Amino acid sequence: MKLTKLALGATITSLLLLLALSNSAAAEGTSDTASPEARSVPLLQVGESMTPERRAILRYDPSYISSLRVPPPPELALQQQRLMAAQATITVNFLPASVVDGDNCLIWPEQPKAAFSYAANLWASQLQSPVPITIDACWANNLPAGVLGHGGPNNFVRNFTGAPVINTWYSVPAANALHGSDLDPVQADMYSAYSSTFNWYFGTDGNTPPTQVDFASVVLHEITHGLGFLGSMQISGGLGSWGGGTGFPIIYDRFTEDGSGQKLLDTTLFPNFSVVLATQLISNDIYFNGTYANAGNGGARVPLYAPAIWSPGSSYAHLAENYNNTPNALMTYSLPSGESIHSPGPVTLGLLKDVGWTLQQASDNYTLTLAKAGTGNGTVSGGGSYPAGATVNLTATPDANSTFAGWSPSPCAPSFPMPASNLSCIATFNAGSPSATSRLVNIATRDWVGTGDNVMIAGFIIGGSSPKQVLIEATGPSMTSAGVPNVLRDPTLTLYSGQTVIASNDNWQNSPTAAAIQATGLAPSNPSESAILITLNPGPYTAIVRGVSDTTGNALVAVFELSNPSAPLINISTRGRTETGDNVMIAGFVIGGSSPQQVLVRAFGPTLTTAGVPGALADPTLTLYSGQTVLASNDNWQDSQAAAIQATGLAPSNPSESAILITLPPGPYTAIVRGFNNSVGNTLVAVDEPY
């Protein structure tokens, strides 16, 4: 059923049509007896007056630049990692070049489509609905000046089976979720249009530049209106009214009140189509008073935007301005440059719950229990209570004359993200002497990825005489949640044997081995990151990390050992550019097994010049950490341990380079390379088993 749309100043004929469609019992009351059947009735929508309809809008605020960063809710990452089941889907119809409801729609470019899909998936991660939610989206070139986007539901429904409150309009996506089937299958559930003329930021990492507007935040905002964040209150000709002439309110209206706690729907105080109601709507003193919205607001009523001059499409349909620069800023009426808001916030989530939505929410904590199996024995640690998505680190130490065979079932591993369920992990110990000594099992290096000669290059060697399965990853966006600034938004990964490309990837979920990567428990958390799962013969290999379209930023390259400890990783190194501050080179490595291992950690700079690498770091320094504790440091390798380092046969060839020879127990370690006196340049960090 296509929604009949009315603009302000609709004719008497149109108004009578609405009244007729809503039935004769719908005059001014709001407590009529419910009709048993679902009824989809045309309704005047809230929003800016745009021929031929009006919708809720989001304006651009040019008065300041914001650095607010609100990260995505945890449910999104949990569902991407398949640690939590998705319970809603949102499908976007990117409209072709056409004119829709007065909007001149252009063909959608690929970049905003990707950001839109990200925002849709984010909202889907928060909702529960058995009915897919559909959006018609327009890339428009004729929105009014200063309007970033506008949107809302395509229809409202009342008195359907499952409606919590009778004689009340619900946005069709909310009504579908409550009813359990599609009440208006002919058209999309909501419509939104976005200005094609703004200087948009289409990234999804939250690093919005100060000169651009975050497109994903705008899409999240407009989807929220379509879900039901709007009411029917309006002012026209000096009179305040609600219901669009039908006599029935939108569910949102039932929660609004003035500063004294008097319901705006109380017609004994505020008659429909009255000056006194209009006065309330421009009083800067109206509130949404709902149980869940208030809980998200610390127990207090939620103030709404009600400026002294009625602003169609902005007034009443947004949160008050005091929510700017807070985690609840998404649903204020305007958005400045530089700001990224990738979460609805507790107030908005609570408000939608009040108007009928059931939400997804990760449990606070899940229990991880540990058990032992096998013919041997040992000790285990790492069990306890964890929130979903938290990184779990398990240890298993075999007793004398026992060996540790591994953890089971999946996703149990030495390190893995906690699923959204209770879990029991079993450590298997076998009787018998250990068959392999401690060894390097993985390395990860974080560094600045530039272009040309300043890309990041990781090298590793597989020893032994049989093949080994490894997982190589290039991550960028996921480091934002760890506080790393200026991340590489879309890293690509290419694996070489000599000069021959043997594998490449951009966006790990597009890989034919995506399911196998997920099964390792080590999959990247962001779909824009890259991964290669491959079995390699013994020998040297090189992995190069670049940015898509020559983009730059901080990235991390990691190599994980997944099989065959008899074919060990015996040398792992990374070449990249060492800058200052947050952009130094950071290498992490893990020693596996159950006994100490001697390693040689080196930082090269001047030697790279002889290999034809331009811009080498003239004087690298090296610091080795266990957690936050400094274990060793060096500037100029000949100043310390010179004889022992020389005896390994792996000493740096330049005295300005650094090296640390040290014996370490099993566990994770970090080596940081900096330039002496904050100098910068290309550097190589290497970790070797010297004997």
Give the CATH number, domain containing residue 518: 2.60.120.380
The answer to whether residue 23 sits within a structural domain is no
Residue 654 inside a domain? The answer is: yes
Residue 312 sits at the vertex; the CA angle it makes with 308 and 316, to the nearest 5 degrees, is 65
R_g of the chain computed on alpha carbons: 30
In a domain, 17, yes or no: no
Number of H helices, E strands in the chain: 11, 47
Please give the residue that has the higher pLDDT: either 599 or 44: 599
What average pLDDT score do residues 115-125 get? 95
> Are 319 and 208 found together in one domain?
yes
Do 588 and 445 form a contact (C-beta atoms < 8 A)?
A: yes
Q: Which of 29-38, 234-243, 561-570 has the highest mean pLDDT?
A: 234-243
The reply to whether omega before 606 is within 30° of 0 (cis) is no
Instruction: Compare 603 and 131 and report the one with higher pLDDT.
Output: 131
What distance lies between CA 640 and its chain's CA centroid?
Answer: 46
User: Given this model, what pLDDT does residue 274 score?
Assistant: 97
478 and 542 co-located in one domain: yes
Instruction: Quickly state the pLDDT bin for 446 (edges 50, 70, 90).
Output: low
For residue 68, which of 423, 341, 251 has the smallest C-alpha distance?
Answer: 341
Average pLDDT over residues 625-636: 90
- Domain termination site, one of 321, 344, 359: 359
Which of 233-247, 298-312, 461-475 is the least confident region? 461-475
Quick: pLDDT tens for 514-526: 888 888 778 888 9
Distance CA 35, CA 157 (A): 12
pTM: 0.55
Burial class for 461, CB neighbours closer than 10 Å (0-12, 13-18, 19+): middle
Would strands 395-398 and 415-417 be described as parallel, antiparallel, or unpaired?
unpaired
Q: Are residues 339 and 446 in the same domain?
A: no
**Tokens 């209106």, residue located:** 225
575-577-580-581 Cα dihedral, nearest 10 degrees? -70
Nearest of 591, 592, 608 to residue 600 by alpha carbon: 591
Is residue 300 located within the same domain as residue 411?
no
Last residue of a domain, one of 376, 404, 431: 431
Cα gap 569→157, rounded to integer Å: 63
Among 387, 405, 431, residue at a domain's last position:
431
Question: What pLDDT does 461 receive?
Answer: 79
Phi, psi at 360, each rounded to 5°: -85, 140
Structure tokens at 407: 């953890």
The count of structural domains within the chain is 3
The confidence score (pLDDT) of residue 300 equals 97
Q: Is 482 exposed, middle or buried, given 0-12, 13-18 or 19+ CB atoms closer than 10 A?
A: exposed
Q: Using the predicted structure, report yes or no on whether residue 383 has a pLDDT greater than 80.
A: yes
User: Higher pLDDT residue, 53 or 644?
Assistant: 644
509 occurs within a structural domain: yes
Name residue, tokens 């000056």. 275
Cα separation of 598 and 439, whole Å? 9
Pair (401, 484) in one structural domain = no
More confident residue, 619 or 365: 619
Contact indicator for 639, 633 with CB cutoff of 8 Å? no
For residues 472 and 460, what is the distance between their CA atoms, to the nearest angstrom? 11
Neighbours of 391 (CB within 10 A): 9
- Cβ atoms of residues 52 and 5 within 8 Å: yes
CA distances 319 to 56, 143, 219, 330, 566, Å, are 12, 23, 17, 9, 62
The two structure tokens encoding residue 538: 């013994």
Q: Do both 165 and 273 map to the same domain?
A: yes
Cis peptide leading into 411, omega within 30 of 0? yes
What is the DSSP code (8-state) at residue 627?
Answer: T
Give residues with Cβ within 8 angstroms of 435, minimum separation 6: 403
Assess if residue 188 is contained within a domain.
yes
**Beta carbons of 470 and 516 less than 8 angstroms apart:** no
Would you state the structure tokens that stand for residue 677, as one six-digit string? Answer: 């006196």
Beta bridge partners of 672: 586, 623
Q: Is pLDDT above 70 for 666?
A: yes
Q: What is the mean pLDDT of the chain?
A: 84
Token pair for 74: 């945890």
Yes or no: say if 183 and 127 are a contact pair by the CB < 8 Å rule.
no
Tokens at residue 386, please? Answer: 């964890």
Band of residue 568 on the pLDDT scale cut at 50, 70, 90: low
Is 4 domain-assigned? no
Q: What's the confidence (pLDDT) of residue 144?
A: 94
The dihedrals phi and psi of 125, each to the nearest 5 degrees, come to -70, -15
Q: How confident is the model at residue 441 (pLDDT cuts 50, 70, 90)?
A: low
Domain presence at residue 5: no
Same domain for 260 and 144?
yes
Highest mean pLDDT among 14-23, 194-203, 633-642: 194-203
pLDDT of residue 159 exceeding 90? yes
> Are both 427 and 536 inside the same structural domain?
no
Minimum mean pLDDT range among 251-265, 284-298, 579-593: 579-593
Measured N-to-C along each axis, helices 110-124 and 215-227 cross at an angle, to the nearest 10 degrees, of: 50
Using CA atoms, how far apart are residues 375 and 365, in angstroms rounded to an integer?
A: 33
Residue 351, C-beta contacts closer than 8 angstroms, at least 6 positions apart? 229, 288, 290, 292, 293, 296, 302
Contact between 272 and 28 under an 8 Å Cβ cutoff? The reply is yes
- 222, 172: one domain: yes
The tally of CA atoms less than 13 A away on the side-chain side of residue 618 is 4
Locate 259 and state its tokens: 């500063």
Kindly report which listed range (110-124, 280-294, 438-452, 574-588) carries the lowest average pLDDT score.
438-452
> Which domain covers residue 117, as residue numbers?
48-359
What pLDDT does 541 receive? 87
If DSSP codes are grouped into helix, strand and coil, which group holds residue 74? helix
pLDDT computed for residue 23 by the predictor: 30
Q: Which of 229, 211, 216 is nearest to 71 (CA)?
A: 216
3-state secondary structure of 544: strand
Q: pLDDT digits over 476-489, tens only?
A: 888 787 677 888 89
Residue 302 shares a structural domain with residue 205? yes
Of 170-179, 316-325, 400-409, the poorest mean pLDDT is in 400-409
Residues 80 and 112 in one domain: yes
Q: Is residue 35 part of a domain?
A: no
> Distance between CA atoms of 517 and 498, rounded to whole angstroms?
25
Alpha carbon distance 36, 327 (integer Å): 41
Q: Are residues 458 and 414 in the same domain?
A: no
